[in-house]
Amino acid sequence: MIGIDRIIENALLEDIHTGDITTQAVVPEKRSARAQLIAKESMVLAGIDVAARVFVLVNPEVVFSARFPEGALLSAGDVIADITGDAASLLQAERVALNLLQRMCGIATLTARYKQAVAGTGAKVVDTRKTTPGLRQLEKYAVRIGGGNNHRSGLYDAVLIKENHITAAGGLSVAVERARAFVPHTMKIEVETETLDQVAEALSAGADIIMLDNMDLEMMRRAVTLIAGRSLTEASGGVSLETIAGIAATGVDIISVGALTHSARAMDISMLLGE
């Protein structure tokens, strides 16, 4: 992943800043140590290479040996990795490595639960731009590890005409027309709709993807029937583990879930130094 070192370096600067006072005060210089990363609950492993990179950036002589690959299903008590090196370096890297690893495992684990909830329906579970500022690349990677798919990476790589764009452009059809004239032929155009009339207008305007935003299940079913495969359909808004199966049953192609990244709980992982 490009740019990961910069993310890690910024996190280390935030945490260590002018120095780790506690370690400087109590840990002898040049003391070697060994440590283990331990899962304290069941989870999908995501971000192990990122965690390893944290330790190496703190001290290139640290040896980080992962026991499980990305995407592995872990149980409580599993030793995720063995780490050896300078004790001070291990202590300075610990919190940043755990923060990133716990966050990424949490996203992958939650994504896997959403993916399981729509199994057999054909609907794809995708993320959104509701990510932690500065961590989008890591969080979207974790979604993929959990079995989900990525929506657009940012404002720069896809067209998504939303309610405010429609208002600013002067109408849905004119917004689609302007977008079609502006972007290359290889780029799809998605339009957010809230009513069946808007669905019909987006379809007539030639939208490639029609987002069904905050519709109830009956309206969503009617929209899918109206579209009849002429555009991809994406359900969005109010999606939870309790509602996603019903949404998938309407026949939509894609379900975008902001909760994958904005509401994932960090998994419980700890680092313990050996005697």
Clarify whether 30 is annotated catalytic. Answer: no
**What is the residue type of 118?**
V
- Residue 73 exposure: Cα atoms within 13 Å on the Cβ side: 4
- pLDDT tens-digit readout, 142-199: 999 999 999 999 999 999 999 999 999 999 999 999 999 999 999 999 999 999 999 9
- Supply the pLDDT for residue 29: 87
Give me the architecture of the 118-262 domain, per CATH.
Alpha-Beta Barrel (3.20)
Residue 104, CA atoms < 13 Å, CB-side half-sphere: 26
pLDDT at 205: 97
5-62 pLDDT tens trace: 999 999 999 999 999 999 999 999 889 999 999 999 999 999 999 999 999 999 999 9
3-state secondary structure of 103: helix
d(CA 111, CA 125) in angstroms, rounded, equals: 8
- Is residue 242 flagged as an active site residue? no
Arithmetic mean of pLDDT, 247-254: 98
Helix (H) or strand (E) holding 142: helix 136-145
Catalytic residue, from 95, 113, 152, 222: name it. Answer: 95
Rg (CA), the chain: 23
Task: For 212-245, write each residue's pLDDT tens digit.
Answer: 999 999 999 999 999 999 999 999 998 999 999 9
| Catalytic option among 78, 201, 213, 234 | 213
Return the structure tokens found at 228: 């009849």
**From 67, 113, 162, 178, the catalytic residue:** 162
Catalytic-residue membership of 213? yes
Mind listing the pLDDT tens digit for each residue in 55-82? Answer: 999 999 999 999 999 999 999 999 999 9
The predicted pLDDT at position 3 comes to: 86
Is residue 152 among the annotated active site residues? no
Model confidence at 275: pLDDT above 80? no
Q: How confident is the model at residue 30, as a pLDDT?
A: 86
How is the chain split into domains, by residue range? 4-114+265-273, 118-262
pLDDT at 271 over 90: yes
Catalytic one of 40, 113, 130, 188: 130
* Cα–Cα nearest to 173, from 157, 189, 185: 189
The mean per-residue pLDDT over the stretch 103-114 comes to: 98
Exactly one of 192, 201, 234, 253 is catalytic; which is it?
192
Task: Tell the residue number behind the tokens 């994958």, with chain if given.
Answer: 260
Amino acid in the structure at residue 231: S
Rounded to two decimals, the pTM is: 0.96
Confidence grade of residue 1 (pLDDT, cut at 50, 70, 90):
low
Q: Is 192 a catalytic residue?
A: yes
Q: What CATH architecture is 4-114+265-273?
A: Alpha-Beta Complex (3.90)
